[in-house]
Amino acid sequence: MDARIATGGGAGTCAVGGFVWDVLLWRRGRADVSACLLAATVSSWLLFYSGLVRGYTLLSLASNVLLLLLTVLFLWAKAARLLNRPQPLVPELRVPQQAVDEAAALLRSALDAALDAFRDIALGRDSLLFYRAFLCLWSVSIVGSLTDFPTACYASIVAALTIPALYHRHQECIDTYMSFAYMNLRMYEMVYERLSMKCFLRVRDWIIELLKDP
């Protein structure tokens, strides 16, 4: 029984992960979903954060729409009960347990991968991973200093929907430049290690000489 549950959870996680990657890479018939997400993100930013709509944000608009919907349904139900008319058809919505388990498993796998990458970088095991993390965090720092948090979130969504697809399409060319850059960085790293070792040895010898003097 446990094996079947584990197998089902792994298959569900793979299915959810495959759907996410299909959306990010615009493939396997998911290009329409990717295009809708990209269009909704850009249009919502243009409406609420570029000055086209004054006095409204995405949160305030969603709250007002939900408030209006609940008010209309509440008054409709009360009036229907008084007038013996049929009440509004409101479906009974439930979150499937399988969807929650799949989302939790996907989040856990992503967090485990991030923690493993952090450990490898902290222990100096993967120089290329360190350079990638450095560039990503540096880019986030620059974007964060130039804009506010909501705009940064919108930019992150747009980047997630465009950069992986562009990389997948031009992977060979990008990998060639990345390999060339990695070789240059590796060479500079070796030069830095040699210089730092020479400086360390000179400082050590200088301290030993000072200690030997009466």
Type and span of the H or E element at 49: none
Residue 51 and residue 118: Cα distance in Å, rounded?
40
Helices (H) and strands (E) in the chain, counts: 7, 0
Look at residue 7 in the predicted model and tell me its pLDDT: 47
Residue 170 and residue 82: Cα distance in Å, rounded?
65
Is pTM, for the whole model, over 0.95? no
Dihedral class, residue 111 (left if φ above 0, else alpha if ψ from -120 to 50, else beta): alpha
Q: Which residue has the tokens 């008319």?
A: 85
Look at residue 10 in the predicted model and tell me its pLDDT: 54
pLDDT in tens, the chain (214 residues): 444 444 455 555 556 567 777 777 777 777 788 888 888 888 878 777 766 666 677 777 788 889 999 999 899 888 888 888 888 887 887 878 888 888 888 889 989 998 998 998 888 887 778 888 888 888 878 877 877 777 778 888 888 888 888 888 888 888 888 888 888 888 887 888 888 887 877 887 787 777 776 5
Look at residue 17 in the predicted model and tell me its pLDDT: 63
How is residue 169 written in tokens? 């399409």
DSSP assignment, residue 123? T
Look at residue 12 in the predicted model and tell me its pLDDT: 52
Look at residue 19 in the predicted model and tell me its pLDDT: 72
